[in-house]
A = this chain, B = another copy of it.
């Protein structure tokens, strides 16, 4: 055992994973320096996101990178593997990580494994949400939401059709928990302030809606604070739709459970989270998809395997209650697991986990917040000041503290930023969802996409002089449409409408041309299809 170091491998770069590494670096300083212990951390990103400040990225009041702290700076003595985890093999004590450049796999062996993989966003079971709703969990999500809001304002400014304008200026957030409320508050502030820079957008045309399945938002807080938050949001112009559940979405509408639809181009859903597929695949005991651990945060049947954070099912040693999936808990669990791992490596007593949350806070934007700290209820400016102070102190890294403090100072005097940062590559292939009786494209539109029907049924309609709208054909799963405009570079020759609820794959012009012009069998297929359809159309027109 003395001839090779003890290897501790941590999976996940959130609060749980990073604080485990950070604490182990402190506790095992000498062992790491002497080469007796090796720490490894696998994380998809090379930074940790400070989630509480994510909503402020929407409005740009915090700089894009300032909510992020590089893991290397926090844990200088840990080997960081910036890649995704592919597979966890508990029996062979080995983790495979995805390749970086090139395609070589990277296999990591361990003596102690800490699973801190959190959970993932999942819209499964809600039609159209995976395709059209914006999640709100990662930094990329906040950035995408910011860009969407600016994009809709840009379009609304030059849109003449009043109905399309209304959809562009309606913003819907589903979920009235902390993250939904903070997101809707920032979004509302941002869109109303930014709109002033747009000549043709009137403030009263803007509609910001919060959907919440229960009768009162912020169920985590005492009733009086939740009511304060509701009153404040309404005063600022947020429309509250309580006891209302989001059922699904399309490109231009939020579909509510009762059948109602709200026309919108911006649908944010903060609700759904599902176990990380890697955790789901582990052959260990779970409760509600979370890994059940013993009092020391070690798996009962797998000594040397530990779990912390949102992916772990932890019972508080004092209260006997399950621990909630919050950052406050994750950091304490991480420290406890690190202490117990250190005890396991160099001997010592393990300690059982117990922690009582210090309090709960939610920002309501624009210098207001609600908080319950050590049982004391606060709201308004004082709560907001506390919110900023506490989170600034908690933000990892001194340089980030300074940057965020500067951002906040500048934000007091400068107008909001409305630059739309388009970093996306062209899309290539995307999925779309339509409900029954929706227009997928219109005759005369510009044709930029080829559609492949994944399921459902559509009809192709053409307007013929003297005959009105004539149905040319119906198409089912596996068939495609829209290829003529892509090949001929002319506007759409017909309208396509969904007959049932349908899912399609949309392939853009570039992807279509490169793929189909280079694969002869596919080219043949499309040439025949187009010839047949053009001929068919002519026959029907005669």
> B63 contacts A199, CB within 8 Å?
no
Task: Give every chain B residue within 8 A of A417 (Cβ-Cβ).
Answer: 65, 70
Of the A-B pairs whose beta carbons lie under 8 Å apart in the complex, a sample of 23, sorted by A's number, is: A45-B419, A45-B420, A46-B150, A63-B64, A79-B157, A79-B158, A82-B154, A99-B445, A101-B155, A101-B168, A102-B164, A103-B446, A140-B423, A402-B414, A403-B410, A423-B424, A425-B427, A428-B428, A429-B514, A429-B515, A431-B514, A452-B518, A505-B518
Task: Check A434 for interface membership: any CB of B closer than 8 A.
Answer: no
> B73 contacts A415, CB within 8 Å?
yes
Task: Give every chain B residue within 8 A of A168 (Cβ-Cβ).
Answer: 101
Which of B197, B199, B429, B453 is in CB contact (< 8 Å) with A70? B197
> B104 contacts A446, CB within 8 Å?
yes
> B427 contacts A414, CB within 8 Å?
no
Task: Check A280 for interface membership: any CB of B closer than 8 A.
Answer: no
Kindly list 6 other residue pairs between chains A and B, CB separation below 8 angstroms, not including A143-B423, A429-B429.
Answer: A79-B158, A82-B420, A425-B427, A505-B514, A505-B515, A505-B518
Task: Give every chain B residue within 8 A of A157 (Cβ-Cβ).
Answer: 79-80
State how many angstroms separate the Cβ of A108 from the closest Cβ of chain B.
Answer: 10
By beta carbon, the residue of chain B nearest A441 is B103
Which of B99, B410, B419, B453 is in CB contact (< 8 Å) with A47? B419
Task: Check A341 for interface membership: any CB of B closer than 8 A.
Answer: no
State how many angstroms separate the Cβ of A360 from the closest Cβ of chain B.
Answer: 28
> B46 contacts A452, CB within 8 Å?
no
Chain-B contact segment, one of A321-329, A520-528, A530-538: A520-528
| Cα–Cα distance between A105 and B60 once the two chains are bound (Å) | 31
Task: Check A386 for interface membership: any CB of B closer than 8 A.
Answer: no
Task: Please indicate which of the listed interface residues A402, A417, A477, A522 has the most CB atoms of chain B within 10 Å of its own CB.
Answer: A417
| Cα–Cα distance between A40 and B479 once the two chains are bound (Å) | 43
| Cα–Cα distance between A415 and B104 once the two chains are bound (Å) | 32
> B419 contacts A154, CB within 8 Å?
no
Which of B65, B79, B99 is in CB contact (< 8 Å) with A64? B65
> A399 contacts B415, CB within 8 Å?
yes
> A421 contacts B64, CB within 8 Å?
yes
Residues A154 and B418 in contact in the complex (CB < 8 Å), given A423-B423, A515-B507: no
> A199 contacts B76, CB within 8 Å?
yes
Task: Give every chain B residue within 8 A of A511 (Cβ-Cβ).
Answer: 428-429, 511
> A158 contacts B106, CB within 8 Å?
yes
| Cα–Cα distance between A414 and B402 once the two chains are bound (Å) | 9
> A46 contacts B82, CB within 8 Å?
no
> A429 contacts B431, CB within 8 Å?
no
Please, what's the 1-or-0 string for A475-488, where 1 marks a CB less than 8 Å from any CB in chain B? 00110100000000
Task: Check A448 for interface membership: any CB of B closer than 8 A.
Answer: yes
By beta carbon, the residue of chain B nearest A424 is B425
Task: Check A519 for interface membership: any CB of B closer than 8 A.
Answer: yes
State how many angstroms separate the Cβ of A154 from the closest Cβ of chain B.
Answer: 4
By beta carbon, the residue of chain B nearest A420 is B46
State how many angstroms separate the Cβ of A130 from the closest Cβ of chain B.
Answer: 12
| Cα–Cα distance between A73 and B198 once the two chains are bound (Å) | 9
A residues 44-87 touching B (CB-CB < 8 Å)? 45-47, 60, 63-65, 68-70, 72-73, 76-77, 79-82
Task: Check A454 for interface membership: any CB of B closer than 8 A.
Answer: yes
> A418 contacts B72, CB within 8 Å?
yes
Which of B164, B414, B453 is in CB contact (< 8 Å) with A399? B414
Task: Check A115 for interface membership: any CB of B closer than 8 A.
Answer: no
> A520 contacts B423, CB within 8 Å?
no
Task: Give every chain B residue within 8 A of A427 (Cβ-Cβ).
Answer: 425, 428
Please, what's the 1-or-0 string for A186-211, where 1 marks a CB less than 8 Å from any CB in chain B? 00000000000111100000000000
Task: Check A406 for interface membership: any CB of B closer than 8 A.
Answer: yes
| Cα–Cα distance between A60 and B64 once the two chains are bound (Å) | 11
